[in-house]
């Protein structure tokens, strides 16, 4: 079972990681023409709307898909596909209803939200993105059902459709809208998100209906009676509410930032235009770059929940330990090089994408912010992995409490630091480091406690840390010698990846058998294709 668990997690992580990287790369490339079309000021309007949308979306759709994934995996582990499918149908109705309520709230409260973010030009954007709330909630139910079967491909496909649709719809709508006004340009970009999510929902629904008959034909080996809709709904809510609260905390902090940071920067002596522009660079460009490697963290978390839940359902303690160990090892193995590499190459990476799109002073602020913000990647990756494990173990309240503590510290530090003249926007990354550190440390403690694991300093922290340090030194040396140019940035990144891989092999962080297994699977998939 432990071997199967490791393979299942590795397969799920690899599929979602590849899709996540592709999606983040498309999303990253999307911001380059978008910034040129609507400018940093238009990006500031766009970012005035997006945190509110993200908060309402998280409120309506974050917890239930995880609960669906967990309950479906548990029922399937007990050979009970009938109740597993009943969970999905119940969740689909609940999620769609919640999404419609949130859509109505955003439309009805447009004026209040516009006043709240102190940006009158954001009104059209709130209207354009409101229908997306109902659409994504329905999409989340389908994803949760597939993930509960430890089938990550539909989620990966729908994520790619989202990003391709965003480029296809948002950029033309932003371009034509900007000819009228910046407000209409930002609203066009947001309307494109709504259309892209509708396409993704249609695709994943088609996958579901194509495979539904095969799922319903699974043998019903469990003798358990069919659960009532009311009982399943109650169980779904009992699992999802702490997860939803936990998932809402970071979007809530981003929402507070969108309301607070510009006034606090003005308090530090900046004008509204300069403050809005800097906030657009930080939240729209720097954070987007940080979010690219965090796709790997989300992949780990999504794969861990059903794997840990399934092992727990059949009381497989070794399988549970194996899943937890594998997840934490992957989190540190992925998080360390992403943090160190992006921090050392912050100027090169930021310049690769945005050098021609920004004024010189905005470009400098951007890469300076990225240098510090990159250090949050490893912290966030471990927070996501530990949260996924704790949710799979049925301890979903713990990450809720730890994130509340972390985000409370972040909001307080943002308020203090951003208002200090000479610090202003540069206080944001330091507040984020404190936030995720405060969340990560107790999460790790409770994972080890409830999974009956000892903390593996050598395998989880020391070896990946040494590999990342060696990579960082080599990349720093190359950066010091090579001139600032896109071609040389690619060379530096490639050399960093190679050094990290070689040192990881030398220190035994990654075994030759694991690499051989991965290449074998890739060859087999290539032959099938």
DSSP string, 225-250: PPPPHHHHHHHHHHHHHHHHHHHHHH
d(CA 309, CA 522): 27
Instruction: Specify the pLDDT at position 477.
Output: 94
Report d(CA 360, CA 365) in Å as an integer: 9
Tens-binned pLDDT, residue by residue, of the chain (529 aa): 445 545 555 555 556 656 666 766 776 677 778 888 988 788 888 888 887 887 777 777 767 787 888 888 888 888 888 888 999 999 899 889 988 998 999 999 998 988 887 888 889 999 999 999 999 889 988 988 988 887 888 888 888 898 888 889 999 999 999 999 888 999 999 999 999 999 999 999 999 999 888 888 888 877 777 788 888 888 888 888 887 777 776 667 777 777 788 888 988 888 888 888 888 889 878 987 887 777 666 666 666 767 787 777 777 788 888 888 888 888 898 899 999 999 999 999 999 888 887 888 889 999 999 999 999 999 988 998 898 889 888 888 898 899 889 989 998 998 999 989 888 899 999 999 999 999 999 999 999 999 988 898 888 999 999 999 999 999 999 999 998 888 999 999 999 999 998 999 888 887 655 555 444 443 444 444 3
The whole-angstrom separation of Cα 36 and Cα 175 is 10
pLDDT value of position 347: 93
- 159 token code pair: 């994520």
Contacts of 447 (CB under 8 A, 6+ apart): 324, 328, 386, 389, 390, 393, 453
Q: What is the pLDDT of residue 235?
A: 86
The domain segmentation of the chain, as residue ranges, is 2-455
pTM over 0.75: no
Q: How confident is the model at residue 521, as a pLDDT?
A: 44
Q: Which residues of 144-166 are buried (b: 16+ CB within 10 A; e: fewer)?
A: bbbbbbbbbebbbbbbbbbbbbb
Tokens of 53: 């949308």
For residues 51 and 259, give the distance between their C-alpha atoms in angstroms, rounded to a whole number: 10
Burial class (CB in 10 A: 0-12, 13-18, 19+), 476: middle
- How far apart CA 411 and CA 256 sit, in angstroms, is 8
3-class secondary-structure state, position 91: helix
Q: Is the separation of the CB atoms in 166 and 105 below 8 Å?
A: no
Percentage helix, strand, coil, to 5, in the chain?
Answer: 85, 0, 15
- Structure confidence at residue 516 (pLDDT): 52
- The candidate with the shortest Cα–Cα distance to 433, out of 334, 290, 317, is 290
Q: Residues 6 or more apart from 456 whose CB is under 8 A from it? A: 325, 328, 329
Distance CA 110, CA 238 (A): 31
At 320 the pLDDT is: 83
The reported pLDDT for the residue numbered 52 is 80
């Amino acid at each position: 079972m432990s071997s199967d668990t490791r393979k299942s997690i590795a397969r799920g992580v690899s599929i979602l990681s590849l899709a996540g990287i592709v999606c983040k790369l498309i999303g990253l490339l999307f911001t380059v023409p978008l910034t040129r079309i609507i400018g940093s000021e238009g990006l500031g309007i766009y970012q005035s709307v997006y945190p509110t949308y993200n908060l309402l979306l998280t409120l309506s759709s974050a917890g239930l898909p995880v609960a669906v994934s967990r309950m479906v995996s548990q029922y399937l582990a007990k050979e009970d596909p009938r109740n597993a499918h009943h969970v999905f149908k119940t969740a689909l109705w609940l999620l769609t209803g919640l999404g419609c309520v949130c859509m109505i709230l955003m439309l009805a409260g447009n004026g209040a939200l516009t006043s709240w973010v102190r940006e009158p030009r954001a009104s059209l954007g709130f209207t354009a993105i409101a229908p997306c709330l109902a659409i994504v909630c329905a999409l989340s139910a389908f994803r949760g059902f597939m993930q509960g079967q430890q089938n990550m491909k539909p989620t990966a496909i729908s994520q790619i459709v989202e990003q391709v649709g965003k480029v296809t719809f948002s950029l033309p709508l932003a371009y034509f809208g900007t000819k009228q006004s910046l407000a209409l340009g930002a609203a066009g970009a947001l309307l494109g998100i709504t259309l892209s999510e509708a396409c993704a929902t249609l695709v994943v629904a088609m996958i579901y209906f194509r495979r539904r008959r095969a799922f319903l034909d699974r043998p019903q080996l469990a003798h358990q009676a069919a659960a009532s809709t009311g009982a399943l709904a109650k169980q779904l809510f009992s699992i999802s509410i702490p997860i939803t609260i936990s998932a809402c905390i970071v979007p809530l902090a981003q929402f507070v930032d969108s309301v607070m940071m510009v006034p606090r920067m003005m308090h530090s002596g900046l004008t509204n235009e300069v403050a809005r522009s800097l906030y657009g660079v930080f939240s729209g460009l720097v954070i987007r770059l940080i979010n690219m490697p965090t796709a790997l963290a989300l992949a780990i978390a999504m794969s861990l929940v059903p794997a840990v839940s399934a092992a727990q359902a059949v009381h497989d303690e070794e399988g549970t330990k194996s899943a937890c160990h594998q997840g934490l090892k992957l989190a540190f193995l992925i998080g360390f090089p992403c943090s160190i590499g992006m921090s050392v190459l912050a100027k090169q990476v930021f310049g690769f994408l945005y050098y021609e799109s920004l004024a010189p002073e905005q470009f400098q602020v951007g890469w300076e912010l990225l240098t510090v913000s990159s250090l949050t990647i490893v912290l966030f990756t471990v927070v996501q992995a530990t949260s996924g494990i704790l949710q799979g173990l049925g301890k979903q309240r713990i990450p809720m409490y730890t994130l509340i503590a972390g985000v409370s510290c972040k909001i307080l530090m943002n308020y203090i630091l951003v208002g200090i003249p000479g610090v202003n926007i540069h206080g944001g990354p330091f507040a984020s480091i404190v936030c995720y550190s405060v969340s990560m440390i107790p999460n790790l403690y409770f994972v080890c406690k409830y999974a009956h694991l000892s903390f593996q300093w050598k395998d989880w922290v020391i070896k990946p840390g040494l590999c990342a340090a060696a990579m960082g030194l080599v990349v720093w040396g190359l950066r010091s010698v090579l001139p600032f140019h896109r071609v040389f940035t690619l060379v530096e990144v490639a050399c960093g990846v190679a050094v990290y891989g070689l040192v990881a092999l030398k220190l035994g962080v990654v075994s030759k058998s694991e690499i051989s297994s991965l290449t074998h699977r890739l060859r087999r998939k290539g032959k099938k294709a």
